[in-house]
Amino acid sequence: MHNSNRPKEDKDIMKDLRVNGKRLWDSLEEMGEFGGTPDGGCARLVGTDLDKQARDLFTEWCLAAGCESVSFDKFGNMFARRPGKNNDLPAVCTGSHLDTQPTGGKYDGVFGVLAGVEVLRTLHENNVETPTPIEVSVWTNEEGSRFKPAMQGSGVYVGRFDLQEELDKTDVDGIRLGDELERIGYIGEAEPGSRNMGAFFEAHIEQGPILEDENKTIGVVRLGQGIRWYDVTVKGRSQHSGTTPMHLRKDTMVAAALITQEVEKIAHRHTNGLGTVGFMKVFPNSRNVIPGRIDFGVDLRNPDADTLKAMNDELVAFCEKVAAERDLEIEVDNYWYFAPVEFKLSDDVEKAASELGYSHMDIYAGAGHDACYMSDIMPAGMIFTPCEKGISHNPAERTSPEQCEAGANVLLHAMLSASDRIAKGK
């Protein structure tokens, strides 16, 4: 006689498991009410009362979905744990973030968290006992909007950042992050990095236009973009624009323009290369004065470390060339380097997408994500779903119930595959 309360292990039953797409969408809409804006966006910054409300609701949902606990560490990173058949084994985890940009949307990060909640609900209502524990995490201050830097919680967790230094960070009003987390009740006793995790997945809207342009449902994220950020300073001589002959000028604006143009050329010369100059300060910034100094930022990206190094070398060499030809002083400070990431669980994602019948393609992550840091300490994987026109970090950020449902289904089956593999010691 069949016992409906017996944990289900039948492979056919597992194969047929699907999330409840409407419930997932309704949850996204409900969570979006905390900080919802009239234009359909969301403004929910870390450490605020809205952040507390979102965390409280996440806790309520996870406990109702069969989790034995929802805990948080000394940096406020949250972990909802659902027991498995062997709880001594490392957990298979998923998660993202609940904080948004000041003028953000409702899906960036939040979809990844609530897709994880929907996985928990699906396993719970179908009475599925997974081989290993399943965990869903909420990482503190991924956006870096109120407190710098971005991906702060996962960075502390894996040891990229010092716990105390990050707790002591202050916002523009001088308010300390640690004090805000304590105020809303989300500082725990556990040391960051102390959980027994064996795999980490993150589902996320693409934040770019590629999947929509290619008409694909799922992006199998193979690589995370490598990033180099530069502060470039060009020093020349400020002089009157009406009295200084062209051949006697030390014009920093022309030099900066040449370098900006070269950044674009460098990006075009290398497969998957990206180059941007998005910030510039001109001194003295007067209409009739030749600029004597310009400070600007350069952003170079590539998913291949060697290619990114070649792009760096070309930028530095070009700046040296311009400095020599124009008798200027040019300083190039590569003050931040984020190494490219290889997502080792991408085969699980591809297998799940194929078996579920979703169109898919290989893609790389152009932005930073918590999964990039988690890959420092365990195998990680990412699932991308389309977003309308690639718009993100904007109230106009849009996706669809069907796209979210597909991503959550792939997440569910990728996690089940990883749990089974870990239990078998593979």
What is the extent of the structural domain holding 306?
Answer: 227-338
Domain boundary among 313, 338, 363: 338
User: Which percentage of the chain shows pLDDT scores above 90?
Assistant: 94
Stretch 50-54: mean pLDDT, rounded? 98
Please indicate, yes or no, whether residues 380 and 329 belong to a single structural domain of this protein: no
For residue 12, what pLDDT is reported? 63
Residue 11 has pLDDT above 70, yes or no: no
Burial class (CB in 10 A: 0-12, 13-18, 19+), 53: middle
Domain boundary among 285, 312, 338: 338
pLDDT digits 0-9 by tens, 182-238 = 999 999 999 999 999 999 999 999 999 999 999 999 999 999 999 999 999 999 999
4: in domain: no
pLDDT digits 0-9 by tens, 222-272 = 999 999 999 999 999 999 999 999 999 999 999 999 999 999 999 999 999
Q: In one letter, which amino acid is 60?
A: E
Which residues are within 8 A (CB) of 33 and not within 5 positions of it... i.e. 6 or more apart?
none
Stretch 51-65: mean pLDDT, rounded? 98
Stretch 283-304: mean pLDDT, rounded? 97
User: Which percentage of the chain shows pLDDT scores above 70?
Assistant: 97
As a whole number of angstroms, the distance between CA 134 and CA 130 comes to 8
For residue 2, what pLDDT is reported? 43
Give the total number of structural domains in the chain.
2
**pLDDT band (50, 70, 90) for residue 6:** low
1: in domain: no
Residue 5 has pLDDT above 70, yes or no: no
As a whole number of angstroms, the distance between CA 391 and CA 404 comes to 16
As a whole number of angstroms, the distance between CA 405 and CA 160 comes to 33
Structure tokens at 9: 């292990």
Domain boundary among 305, 338, 371: 338
Please indicate, yes or no, whether residues 54 and 181 belong to a single structural domain of this protein: yes
